[in-house]
Chains A and B, each alone.
Chain A
Amino acid sequence: KAGVTQTPRYLIKTRGQQVTLSCSPISGHRSVSWYQQTPGQGLQFLFEYFSETQRNKGNFPGRFSGRQFSNSRSEMNVSTLELGDSALYLCASSSGTGIDEQYFGPGTRLTVT
């Protein structure tokens, strides 16, 4: 099985711009979760999508949004970028049908200047 893929892998944006990140889950997985990872902060949960619906949400401002398509692929959007948004954004997929492990993608490294 192909693993979780994320595009792009690296991104440099300027403050005030917006960005869209993409995640393709493992075939057959219906749940996609997004995390922000920064040094010292660990993995902060952004949101989870299951069957095109947001099932869980973390404590991030409304500038962070996401969606999931019928093929389970997911996108995450950050509007009005701030310097503090610089981070590694990880997506993880799972079957979503109960307690199961998450498979992480390689991440997108976002740098905001």
Chain B
Amino acid sequence: GQQVMQIPQYQHVQEGEDFTTYCNSSTTLSNIQWYKQRPGGHPVFLIQLVKSGEVKKQKRLTFQFGEAKKNSSLHITATQTTDVGTYFCAGQTDSWGKLQFGAGTQVVVTP
């Protein structure tokens, strides 16, 4: 069945540094979504990518969907303490299919 894998599982970053988290699917996706979960909170939607090769930016966050629509990445520049949390990618193989979440990348930021 469909599997979504995320790496790294854990990322320790110095404030001001950049980092990237990657998401890979075993099957071609129709779309991919990214969510952020703060410690003690619930996942909150960040963005959705639909087109092959699509790149979207939200301030310091850059999201990319691979050309083959089987992988995605989230790049954060100049990390801040507010970036702490777990970032999940989630993919669907069609519009009506279940949203398959990756295991998440837990980000810890050191001031």
Give CA–CA (A86, B65) in the complex, Å.
35
A15 within 8 Å of B by Cβ?
no
How many of B's residues come within 8 Å of A, CB to CB?
Answer: 25
Q: Which of B41-76 contact A (CB under 8 A)?
A: 41-45, 48, 50
Whether A43 contacts B88 by the Cβ 8 Å rule is yes
Contacts of B98 in A (CB 8 A): 33, 45, 48, 56-58
Which residues of chain B are within 8 angstroms of A92 by Cβ–Cβ distance? 43
- In the complex, per-residue mask of A82-113: 1 if CB is within 8 Å of any chain B CB, else 0: 00000000101000001111111111000000
Q: Which residues of A contact B99 (CB under 8 A)?
A: 33, 45, 102
Q: Chain B at the A interface: mostly helix, strand, loop or mixed?
A: loop
B48 / chain A contacts, CB cutoff of 8 Å: 99-101
Chain B residues positioned under 8 Å from A106 (CB to CB): 41-42
Q: Which residues of A contact B22 (CB under 8 A)?
A: none
Pairwise interchain contact A42-B104, C-beta atoms closer than 8 A:
yes
Which residue of chain B has the shortest Cβ distance to A6 in the bound complex? B42
Q: Which of B29-47 contact A (CB under 8 A)?
A: 30-31, 33, 35, 41-45
CA distance A55 to B92 in the complex (A): 14
Q: Is A41 in contact with chain B by the CB < 8 A criterion? A: yes
Instruction: Report if B82 contacts A (CB, 8 A).
Output: no
Cross-chain contact B33 with A42 (CB below 8 angstroms): no
A43 in contact with B33 (CB, 8 Å): no
Candidates B41, B44, B95; contact of A99 at CB < 8 Å: B95
A-side interface residues toward B, CB under 8 Å?
Answer: 33, 35, 40-45, 48, 55-59, 90, 92, 98-107
Interface CB pairs A-B, < 8 A, 12: A42-B104, A44-B101, A45-B100, A58-B98, A59-B1, A98-B95, A99-B31, A99-B50, A99-B92, A102-B35, A105-B42, A107-B42
The 10 closest A-B CB pairs, nearest first, are A42-B103, A101-B45, A43-B101, A56-B98, A104-B42, A99-B31, A104-B43, A98-B95, A45-B98, A99-B95
